[in-house]
Structure 1
Amino acid sequence: MRPLLCVLGLAVSMLATPSWAQQPLRLVADRWPPFTDSGMPGGGLATGIVTEALARAGYASKFEEVPWARALMGVGEGRYDVLVNAWYNEARTRLGQFSGPYLTNRIRLLKRQGEAFSYGKLPDLYPYSIAVVRDYAYAADFDSDTRLNKVPVRNFPSAVRMLAAGRVDLAVEDEYVARFNLRSESAAVRNAVDFVEQPLGENSLHILVSLKHPQHQVIVERFEQAIEAMKADGSYARLLKHYGL
């Protein structure tokens, strides 16, 4: 009887385990190379870091790439568990719980090559049209200033092509992302644009764990612990080097 009772006990415990605890975490991000891109090894740098950290924390995961607005909405609705590449803003805290930062993004403006342009503070940008990716957060003051003439676009390649064609005055993006994407553009586009000297700001990169997931707080805590362990053992630095950072 004892083996049978053990089997029955195991079966009961398995039935008692919530279904969400048995399923891989559903990771989501938009295409944002080199940080998130299903066509790159490991899904890109950010996806690679997050996947490894979650694995160390005891979570299996699977990654899906969708447009940004759908990713953000999906986390809010609980269709996805973890948004891989989130910059912090207050509105998103109603959708998910932010982890501590695991990467830093330097935000830069781009202008047309040869055009004299500089600025010291945000009001200096009011006369200019600025291409921004729809639903992205850049810097808190920039995002909240309704007097800025922001032109929503689908992605950075669209923004930089509009800039090169003279359809907007400026574009904005993380510096490394911009440089990565510019390598794929035509020489005509690459040679038509240049970075504005003064950075717009810096943003820390976080995961955003859906509030719909019953373990969202535990996932964040374990993820943060895993990131610290990766930095301590050198695996974090090796990932950065692998992706050229």
Structure 2
Amino acid sequence: MRSRLATALFALLLACAGVNAETLRMAANLWPPFTDARLSGDGLASELVRTALKRAGHVVVYVEVPWARALRGLEMGEYDLLVSAWYSDERARFGQFSKPYLTNRIRFLKRKDTTVDFHTPADLRRYSIAVGRGYRYSPAFDADTSLHKVPVTDFPMAARMLAAGRVQLALEDELVARFYLNRELKGISDQLEFLPEPLSESGAHILVRLSHPRHQQLVEDFDRAIQAMREDGTYQAIFARHGLH
């Protein structure tokens, strides 16, 4: 009985605090299934972040803008946090990173009826590779000018070029690729497959602006809430709700 009463009182305190709580502006670019205003919960990453911050007593609003504007807006104080960001020293100048709460696994795809011999980065020089224009994959890959990279606007374009034999490889985050292959690219999904080894793996963090007076507290609150969500099954349930595992 005491436990139930304590839980109820805690919930009431959070609700009361929320009445006058600051509304945090969390920004992201369009990157389904992670961030997309058209999806349930504004996407997988957005729902994870919103749920964690709400548990910690914070009110958030989602804003979807191009990536360059999101970064600039955080630096200038227009937004309070970014939903998903990879670590870089440059970004750490104006934002505080949380612990990683997602893993972005960047993988190559090929046609099932072709053979690709990829063991070292040098092996990639034999192949044409569809890459997103302006995307970053890994420092070494991005800087390698000896590779035959074919810029495309998005992954659906890369996948269709791959299926048509216009390129020999395509590169994308695994969950992003699976999202499209299970939906608008379903007609060609059985023609494509992933190479076994990823090009890179990067942790996705929230990035809170250093100019926010409680940036340290926000990050600590988020990290604690995400850990609790992993332990009680909420984290896995959100993945399942988005059809991802």
TM > 0.5 between the two? yes
2: CA distance, partners of 1:147 / 1:187: 33
Structure 1 residues 35-114: aligned runs within 5 Å: 35-114=34-113
The percent identity for this pair of structures is: 52
Give the superposed CA RMSD: 2.5
Distance 1:140 1:45, change over 3 A: same
Q: Cα–Cα, structure 1 residues 63 and 101, in superposed 2: closer, same or farther, change >3 Å?
A: same
- Conserved? CA contact 1:99–1:221, under 8 Å: yes
Residues 1:139 and 2:142 aligned together: no
1:151 and 1:79 mapped to 2: Cα distance?
35
CA distance in 1, matches of 2:210, 2:154: 27
Give how far 1:63 is off: 0.4
Secondary structure of the 1:90 match is coil
Q: Give SS of 2:90's match.
A: helix
Contact conserved, 1:87 with 1:138, CA < 8 A, in 2?
no
Q: Equivalent residue for 1:8?
A: none
Q: Following superposition of structure 1 onto structure 2, how do residues 95-174 of structure 1 map, counting pairs within 5 Å? A: 95-174=94-173
Aligned partner of 2:240 in structure 1 is 241
TM-score relative to the length of structure 1:
0.79
2:210 counterpart of 1:211: yes
The residue number in structure 1 matching 2:197 is: 198
Contact 1:109 1:171 in 2 (8 A): yes
Q: Which has the larger radius of gyration?
A: 1
Q: 2: CA distance between counterparts of 1:24 and 1:151?
A: 42
Q: Which runs of 5+ in 2 are unaligned?
A: 1-19
Q: Which residue identity does 1:177 align to in structure 2?
A: V
- Deviation, structure 1 residue 167: 4.2
For residues 72 and 121 of structure 1, the distance between their equivalents in structure 2, rounded to whole angstroms, comes to 33
**Alpha-carbon shift at residue 97 of structure 1 (Å):** 1.9
The whole-number CA distance in structure 2 between the counterparts of 1:152 and 1:76 is 28
CA 1:186–1:230 in structure 2 vs 1: closer, same or farther (change >3 Å)? closer
Shift of 1:202: 2.0
Cα deviation for residue 119 of structure 1 reads 0.6
1:193-231 CA distances to partner (integer Å, 9 max, x unpaired)?
Answer: 332232223222211222343332222121111111222
Displacement of 1:192 in angstroms is: 4.6
- Change over 3 Å in CA distance of 1:124–1:92 after alignment to 2: farther
| Aligned residue pair count | 225
Report the CA distance shift for 1:180/1:186 in structure 2 as closer, same or farther (over 3 A). Answer: closer
- The amino acid of 1:227's aligned partner reads I
Q: Do the aligned partners of residues 149 and 214 (structure 1) sit closer, same or farther apart at CA in structure 2, a change above 3 Å counting? A: farther
TM-score, normalised relative to structure 2: 0.79
Q: Which runs of 5+ in 1 are unaligned?
A: 1-20
- Post-superposition offset of 1:188: 5.5
Distance 1:134 1:78 in 2: 27
